[in-house]
Amino acid sequence: MTQQISALPTAAFVPLDELDEISGVLGAIHYTDGASDPDVSPGHLRLDLHMAREPAEGFAEVWTTDRPVETGESGGIGYAHDGEHLICGGRVPPSGNYAEATRAAYTTMLELMESLGYQRCARMWNFVNDINADNADGLEVYRDFCLGRAEAFEARNFSDTSVPAATGIGSLGGGISFYVLASRSNTLTPIENSKQVSAYNYPKQYGPRPPKFARATHVSATEDRAAGQVYVSGTSSIRGHETLFAGDVEKQTLLALENIAHLIGPETAADHRIEQHSTLADLDTIKVYVRHREDIPAVRRICEEHFSPDAQVAYLNVDVCRADLSVELEGIVHAPRNEP
Ligand SMILES: C=C(O[C@@H]1C=C(C(=O)O)C=C[C@H]1O)C(=O)O
């Protein structure tokens, strides 16, 4: 079941064999058994990510709209927009080094967003093959990617407090695939977690340039930021800037959930002067990234104790951005909960 994008962008997970039944598609991101370059020939953005070992394990994250969709391609970036929201994406092919190609691709994308008038960047997703391996110069691929991304954001004058929510996760192939959701006029509020150091302030022990993302982005169709929704970044077992519970996937899952609960809860909302606050039961379109396949049943059991039975949840067996992290979760809060 997809949800129409009206004032705010949202999405739903759809089985790959049910996509033809859906109308008003802005973007269809296929989490499947191979990566592709962006394709706008279907009249929306299609981007295939190598995130599943076989199509039967895959799904599509489908962004829909009730408005006419225009598509195009520029400098290798495919895009689709409806006058208020833009989805765009691309791919850096497999390489021994990624910083320069990432910087160039992200710069092209950010320039395209500016030229189309969608400068309010709500959410980014990055899928990095061999994320924990060393590049040709002995630098971890993730750190290589972060270097290029940081340079692109700086070149386009993004301050640390204007970067969007993001995910940076491993993939099963295809180099580095990425996609972005941006808005023309929504009111965006980056949200940080008081229990974690902001990623863009991580010390250099994690790489030459820090990952540039917010812990979440609150998106509202009105300037008073009421009735918004929250894009929760990939969240793991990190307190301050340190990984906790290395080797214990169940404790890592519980701490990641605790981090998200705090991030979307009343204390953080008050810190950011946002009325709306939520709980884990309000989280939907959730992706759970698990490093070791054999850990998925235990992680699923813990997640099912915390999420709504109505939530869409996808479990993916891929690497996580730090070698000592075993699990990571992301999601979207669609409906505020303001009861005391
Ligand atoms: C899990 C973390 O970072 C991951 C990497 C991200 C990126 O580089 O864009 C964003 C969120 C997570 O997917 C973290 O640093 O807390």
Judge whether residue 306 has pLDDT over 80: yes
Judge whether residue 3 has pLDDT over 60: no
Q: Is 234 in the pocket of ligand 1 (CB under 6 A)?
A: yes
Q: Is 193 in the pocket of ligand 1 (CB under 6 A)?
A: no
Query: How close is the Cα of 233 to the center of ligand 1, in Å?
Result: 7
* Residue 277 to residue 112: CA distance in whole angstroms: 33
Going by the annotation, the residues of the binding site for substrate are 142, 149, 202, 215
Q: Is residue 274 part of a domain?
A: yes
- Residue 332, number of CB atoms within 10 A of its CB: 24
Q: Is 32 in the pocket of ligand 1 (CB under 6 A)?
A: no
Judge whether residue 1 has pLDDT over 70: no
Ligand 1 atom nearest 325 alpha carbon? 1
Which range has highest mean pLDDT (6-20, 192-206, 221-235, 326-340)? 192-206
Query: How close is the Cα of 298 to the center of ligand 1, in Å?
Result: 22
Question: Quick one: three-class SS letters along 58-94?
Answer: CEEEEEECCCCCEEEEECCEEEEECCCEEEEEEEECC
Q: Is 211 in the pocket of ligand 1 (CB under 6 A)?
A: yes
* Residue 195 to residue 317: CA distance in whole angstroms: 27
Percentage above 90 pLDDT, the chain: 90
Query: How close is the Cα of 140 to the center of ligand 1, in Å?
Result: 15
Question: Quick one: three-class SS letters along the chain?
Answer: CCCCCCCCCCEEEECHHHHHHCCCEEEEEEEEECCCCCECCCCCEEEEEECCCCHHHCEEEEEECCCCCEEEEECCEEEEECCCEEEEEEEECCCCCCHHHHHHHHHHHHHHHHHHCCCEEEEEEEEEECCCCECCCCCEHHHHHHHHHHHHHHHCCCCHHHCCEEEEEEECCCCEEEEEEEECCCEEEEECCCCECCHHHCCHHHCCCCCCCECEEEEECCCCCCCCEEEEEEECCEEECEECCCCCHHHHHHHHHHHHHHHHCHHHHHHCCCCCECCHHHEEEEEEEECCHHHHHHHHHHHHHHCCCCCCEEEEECCCCCCCCCEEEEEEECCCECCC
Q: Can you tell me the mean pLDDT for 34-49?
A: 98
Q: What is the complex's ipTM, to 2 decimals?
A: 0.99
Q: Give the residues across from 221 on adjacent strands.
A: none
Amino acid at 329: L
CATH number for 174: 3.30.1330.40
Judge whether residue 267 has pLDDT over 90: yes
Instruction: Give pLDDT, residue 4.
Output: 37
What are the tens digits of pLDDT across the range 75-103? Answer: 999 999 999 999 999 999 999 999 999 99
Instruction: Give pLDDT, residue 221.
Output: 85
Query: How close is the Cα of 308 to the center of ligand 1, in Å?
Result: 24
Q: Is residue 5 part of a domain?
A: no
Nearest-CA residue for ligand 1 atom 5 is 168
Q: Is residue 4 part of a domain?
A: no
Instruction: Give pLDDT, residue 227.
Output: 75
Q: Which of 318, 321, 322, 330 to mutate to test the pocket of ligand 1 (most atoms within 8 A of CB)?
A: 321
Judge whether residue 5 has pLDDT over 60: no
Q: Can you tell me the mean pLDDT for 42-63?
A: 96
Q: Is 190 in the pocket of ligand 1 (CB under 6 A)?
A: no
Q: Which of 163, 181, 236 to mutate to test the pocket of ligand 1 (most atoms within 8 A of CB)?
A: 236
Q: Is 264 in the pocket of ligand 1 (CB under 6 A)?
A: no
- Which residues constitute the domain of residue 98? 10-333
Q: Is residue 61 part of a domain?
A: yes
Question: Looking at 61, 140, 192, 328, which residue is catalytic?
Answer: 328
Q: Is residue 73 part of a domain?
A: yes
**Separation in Å, CA 329 to CA 147, 189, 203, 232, 290:** 23, 21, 23, 9, 9
What are the tens digits of pLDDT across the range 188-240? Answer: 999 999 999 999 999 999 999 999 999 999 999 887 777 789 999 999 999 99
b/e code 276-298 from CB counts within 10 Å (16+ = b): bbbbbebbbbbbbbbbeeebbee
Q: Is 213 in the pocket of ligand 1 (CB under 6 A)?
A: yes
Q: Can you tell me the mean pLDDT for 281-301?
A: 98
What are 1's two structure tokens?
Answer: 């079941």
Answer left, alpha or beta for residue 183, where phi above 0 means left and psi between -120 and 50 means alpha. beta
Ligand 1 atom nearest 142 alpha carbon? 8
How many domains does one find in the chain? 1
Q: Is residue 2 part of a domain?
A: no
Residue 328 catalytic? yes
* Residue 302 to residue 163: CA distance in whole angstroms: 31
What are 18's two structure tokens?
Answer: 């049910």
Mean of all residue pLDDT scores within the chain: 94
Judge whether residue 340 has pLDDT over 70: no
Q: Is residue 104 part of a domain?
A: yes
Residue with the larger pLDDT of the pair 3 and 292: 292
Instruction: Give pLDDT, residue 224.
Output: 77
Name the band, by pLDDT with cuts 50, 70 and 90, for residue 336.
low
Lowest mean pLDDT among 52-56, 171-175, 301-305: 52-56
Q: Is residue 128 part of a domain?
A: yes
Q: Can you tell me the mean pLDDT for 238-248?
A: 98
